[in-house]
Amino acid sequence: MEDIKENGVEAEEENRMKKSNENEQHKLGLMRSFVESQDPTSKEVDDMTLRRFLHARDLDNEKASSMFLKYLKWRREFVPNGTISESEISNDLAHKIFFLQGVDKYGHPIGVVFPGKHFPNGKVGADQFKRTVVYFLDKLCLRMPRGQEQFTVIADLQGWGYSNCDIRAYIGAISILQDCYPERLGKLLLVNVPYIFMQAWKLICPIIDKNTSKKIAFVEKKKMTSILLQDIDKSQLPQVYGGHLQLVLVENA
């Protein structure tokens, strides 16, 4: 009787998953038809990309389509040449803020960011920082193996102080991540977080959506290496966190 009951539960779960997949595929088809009618360049976009926007809006076709079309418009205007050139962001690159390093246990490429090396410089500085973020995120995406869709980021706030606080740049970066790279973030690990950073975090939190928020983790300093090793093998972890790999600047990766 127990075997029959277990088989029945498994069959019910398989049937539920099948219906869920069919529903998602149907919504994906509707979304593709609509966005292609509004913007013909949508035909060049694969189903995996459209599905990420669909998931980011909890399978709401109308919201996902609107989000995707806004993304296409943003991409054309913000990255008209298809990529951000290093000459556009030379000032930020000179501060050595962004690094790429290894992959985690799930195959996600790893990026490392040092906000303590960034200093506010008005609207011009905030705009360049957003371009640097796009450069960084595009590089992470290019490092993904076929079939992989997400990346992991370690944000190391060692040395961060009030002179580094740039709320406009931080909000701009998070907005780009959420609105233009939906479902790309696998996990964001904040390490070496000073207490004073939490005041800035209170101002940033309201713009972080629930899908992004659940992927963010603050790592206790005393347990940092052991916690990082839960997701990243020692052979892929940067040396500064107890691993074997040296950090590589994003422009050299």
Average pLDDT estimate for 176-186? 97
Measured CA to CA, the distance from residue 123 to residue 43 in angstroms comes to 35
Measured CA to CA, the distance from residue 237 to residue 164 in angstroms comes to 26
**What pLDDT is stored for residue 60 in this prediction?**
96
Average pLDDT estimate for 25-44? 96
CB-CB contact of 243 with 232 (8 Å):
yes
- pLDDT band for position 184 (cuts 50, 70, 90): very high
Token pair 């983790």 in the structure block, residue: 217
DSSP class per residue in 84-119: --GGGGHHHHHTT-EEEEEE-TTS-EEEEE-GGG--
- pLDDT band for position 101 (cuts 50, 70, 90): confident
pLDDT above 90 for 11: no
Rounded to two decimals, what is the model's pTM? 0.89
Phi, psi of 39 (to 5 degrees): -145, 105
Query: What fold is seen in the domain 2-78?
Result: Helicase, Ruva Protein; domain 3 (1.10.8)
Contacts of 110 (CB under 8 A, 6+ apart): 100, 101, 102, 103, 104, 151, 152, 153, 154, 232, 236
Measured CA to CA, the distance from residue 80 to residue 110 in angstroms comes to 27
DSSP class per residue in 134-152: HHHHHHHHHTPPTT---EE
CB-CB contact of 67 with 57 (8 Å):
yes
Beta pairing class for 248-249 and 98-103: antiparallel
Written as one letter, the residue type at 75 is R
- Angle, CA of 129, 118 and 110, to the nearest 5°: 75
Measured CA to CA, the distance from residue 138 to residue 172 in angstroms comes to 16
Q: Return the axis-axis angle of helices 61-78 and 2-38, rounded to nearest 10°.
A: 50
Whether CATH 3.40.525.10 fits 86-252: yes
The residue extents of the domains of the chain are 2-78, 86-252
pLDDT above 50 for 9: no
If we measure between CA atoms, which residue out of 108, 117, 189 comes closest to residue 160? 117
Mean pLDDT, the chain, integer = 91
